[in-house]
Amino acid sequence: MLSFSANRRIATCLLVNLLSSICIVFINKWIYVHYGFPNMTLTLVHFLVTWLGLFICQKMDIFSPKSLPVRRIVWLALSFCGFVAFTNLSLQNNSIGTYQLAKAMTTPVIILIQTTYYKKSFSTKIKFTLVPITLGVILNSYYDVRFNLLGTVFATLGVLVTSLYQVWVGAKQHELQVNSMQLLYYQAPLSSGFLLAIIPLFEPLTGDGGIFGPWSLPALLTVLFSGVVAFLVNLSIYWIIGNTSAVTYNMFGHFKFCITLVGGYLLFHDPLSLNQVSLSSWIGAVLVFCFFSLSPLRQALGILCTLAGILSYTHFKLAEQEEGKSRLAQRP
């Protein structure tokens, strides 16, 4: 019964993360395209609403705060700033398809970090799944008709900082013996303070495009709503990584990848052909066709390679977990 209850909680949290993560991508893209709201200021709003949400949860006795030394979470707070800021900048400067596909590189980088610095081992089959993921991202970036150097730089920085952040989230929860809410409760205001100090250096405070500029009521309400959704995203990320692993959280993203790809095409007319949306059921035929076709279909090949790597990882990881459970059950 305990196992069923734990699995149900994990499934519920994964669903919350799925819906909120997809929603935040489309809301943020809408804010950038239709309102031109400044990126770092939007990130600050997300941090503040996240902390406010946790404060309300704490007052409702949903969790009990635990005193943490600031010096132990400074780097985590800084990486949180970079994680959100660079991914938002990547979204602002890339198509949704390229933005989402670039995030797939987080998994290989996390595995590299955990192997190099945390001495965690991965099977050869798991390592081989990183090849199509990496190849797919390179192909998509090369053939993306909206490819630009600035977007690539932000996407690369976003992957590096996000990978560090997600590894540290899991490590800090175990190191400090805190749950997701307790850690985020202290980290969110600290990250807000860092951002507040540097925003005046990069973004205007008044006038058009400034935080205190003449924003319309719909723009302000949309920004506030994005903050609420960001709270759900941040909280679910912490919970999932703390109760599973950073790699598992990233592999769950292939559902979000498919949905955001379709949404980007429908809502923002990103240059992704119908073949790029529905290829999952025609893998054999399209792999050959895409290779010899025009660049949009070659971009589809990149998406297919990445998706194939993600699905392969998921299959091998589940098989290894089942094998591990069987060995434990056979022990006397």
Q: What digits encode the pLDDT tens for the residues 230-272? A: 998 888 877 776 666 655 665 565 555 555 555 555 565 555 4
**Tens digit of each residue's pLDDT (9 = 90 or more) over 161-207:** 989 988 888 888 888 888 878 888 888 899 999 988 888 888 888 87
d(C-alpha 135, C-alpha 113), whole Å? 20
Per-position DSSP letters for 243-293, written without gaps between them: HS-HHHHHHTHHHHHHHHHHHHHHHH--S--HHHHHGGG-HHHHHHHHHTS
pLDDT above 90 for 225: yes
What pLDDT does residue 6 have? 62
Alpha helices in the chain (DSSP H): 2-30, 39-59, 74-93, 96-102, 106-117, 124-128, 130-143, 149-176, 180-202, 217-243, 246-251, 253-268, 274-278, 283-291, 295-330
Q: Which residues contact 308 (CB under 8 A, 6 or more apart)?
A: 132, 136, 283
pLDDT score of 328: 61
Taking CA atoms, 129 is separated from 209, 317, 326, in Å, by: 43, 11, 24
Write the CA distances from 312 to 79, 80, 218, 233, 316, integer angstroms. Answer: 29, 29, 43, 26, 6
What percent of the chain lies above the pLDDT cut of 70? 66
Q: Is a pLDDT exceeding 90 seen at residue 3?
A: no
DSSP state of 146: T
At 321 the pLDDT is 64
Query: Can you give the pLDDT at residue 284?
Result: 36
Task: Please report, as a single letter, which amino acid is at residue 15.
Answer: L
Average pLDDT for residues 127-154, to the nearest whole number?
Answer: 69
Whether pTM exceeds 0.75: no
Q: Which among 102-116, 252-266, 305-319 has the top mean pLDDT?
A: 102-116
Given this model, what pLDDT does residue 283 score? 39
User: Letter for the amino acid at 306?
Assistant: T
At 191, the amino acid letter reads: S
Element (DSSP H or E) covering residue 43: helix 39-59
Q: What pLDDT was estimated at residue 227? A: 93
What pLDDT, on a 0 to 100 scale, did the predictor assign at position 51?
92
State the Cα torsion 39-41-45-46 to the nearest 10°.
30
**The predicted structure's pLDDT at residue 184:** 86
Q: For the chain, give the mean pLDDT.
A: 75
- Residue 194 neighbours by CB under 8 Å, 6+ apart: 77, 78, 81
Q: What is the mean pLDDT of residues 100-111?
A: 78
Which of the pair, 161 or 135, is modelled with greater confidence? 161
pLDDT tens figures, 66-91 = 888 888 889 999 998 888 888 888 88
Give just the sign of the alpha carbon dihedral 279, 284, 289, 291.
positive
What integer pLDDT is reported at residue 186 of this predicted model? 87
For residues 49 and 285, the model is more confident at 49
Out of 15-19, 64-68, 313-317, which region has the weakest mean confidence (pLDDT)?
313-317
Q: Do residues 300 and 308 touch, judged by C-beta distance below 8 A?
A: no
What is the phi/psi pair of residue 179, to 5°?
-90, 180
